[in-house]
Amino acid sequence: MGISPVLNQFANSGGLSGSVAYPNNNAAGNLLVCVVRCLVTDTVADTNNGSWTRAAYQATSDTLGVGIFYYANCKSGANTVNTTASIARQVVIGEYSGLALTSVLGNTNAATGTGNTVSSGSVSTSPNANTLLIGGVSNETLNGQVFTPTGGFGNETNANAGGNTFLCDQIVSSVNSYTFGGSYSGAVALWAAAAAVFIGEPTCATPVISPAAGAYDGSVNVTITCSTPGNSIYYTTDGSTPTSGSTPYTPFTVDSSLTVKAIAIASGYVNSAVASAAYTLTYTISGSAGVAGATVTYAGTTSGSVVADGSGNYAISGLPNLWTGTVTPSKTGYTFSPANSSQTINSGDNTGVNFTATSSGGGASGWLNAQHDFANKRGLRG
């Protein structure tokens, strides 16, 4: 499912207050985030008895600071966040789904500076590519300004119409280094910025489809496995991308050329990447033409011919499932019974499609006529 901000769950203190309520009930297991204009000794709590931890903090030279606090794997229900901040408080809260339930905090960084251009310093998402980046910024001025984030961050909300504390975020899916930054709309004497990486749910392992994609003579029995514990696999055979609404996996047989696609889903994991295996399946019609060297022609949805071997046997391979047509043997000086044979491939090889060859000179079979011709050539018959 991946990381996602919970819609309509961002709020601000609406003034210099240390208390702000979530607009809607929190959903169990989500990540709650709070950006506070505060001192290093200040803490955050809530009315749901949540366990809040400070992820990052940065103070300026006059003790103004900004802190990022979080509460992972939260409880469900109505909730109000309270801070002990003693300076002119500004509080911004948000809620996110799709984060790891434990060990959610990655690395952090923070910085302070002057002027209207802000930069927290870089943070790395390694080794987990599925991550939430939170940026928090505040400044010593309380007259309202606009903050425009850069580096791919979005601005969720500011603390109040007259405040300068902002919660910004970015959801990324690649291992890289990122810098939270931006600019205030006006000059700022001192600012403090912090950035924190929050780790998303791990990704379910990509399913393994066996046998491997390729060309096969005849139908194949398909198995799909996934190494993630507690997984459920879903697949399609019509070329569409599988979802949890697709066919649940049980072992199955493929008897026509098609592509199998599969995903794995497990609780606490992001859905796996899609696995794909394209199969080209063909079948064979075989038997005896009745005489060596006979040409066996097949005409139908695909057409062609083969030549019987020295024992009179032939094999027409590479036919698709549901092939329908006529198989006809021929050789100068011979007639065949039957003259031809109508055949349909139905998920299997057609074997024992035999013909009897009779010499046009009256021999009873292709084999007897061959012996007669041999004797004439050796001068053994008068």
Would the pTM of this model clear 0.85, i.e. be above it?
A: no
Contact at 8 Å (CB) between 168 and 135?
Answer: yes
What three-state secondary structure class fits 226? coil
For the chain, 382 residues long, give each residue's pLDDT as a single digit of tens.
578 999 888 888 755 668 889 999 999 999 999 999 888 888 999 999 999 999 999 988 666 789 999 999 999 999 999 988 766 678 899 999 988 888 899 999 999 998 889 999 999 987 777 899 999 998 876 556 788 999 999 988 754 445 678 899 999 988 899 999 999 887 777 899 999 999 988 889 999 999 999 999 999 999 999 999 999 999 999 999 999 999 999 999 999 999 999 999 998 788 899 999 999 999 999 999 999 999 999 999 999 999 999 999 999 999 999 999 999 999 999 999 999 999 999 999 999 999 999 998 755 444 434 443 433 434 433 3
- Confidence (pLDDT) at 38: 85
Contact at 8 Å (CB) between 278 and 209?
Answer: no
Of 115, 152, 120, nearest to 136 by C-alpha is 120
**CB burial string 38-53: b at 16+ within 10 A, e below:** bbeebebbbebebebe
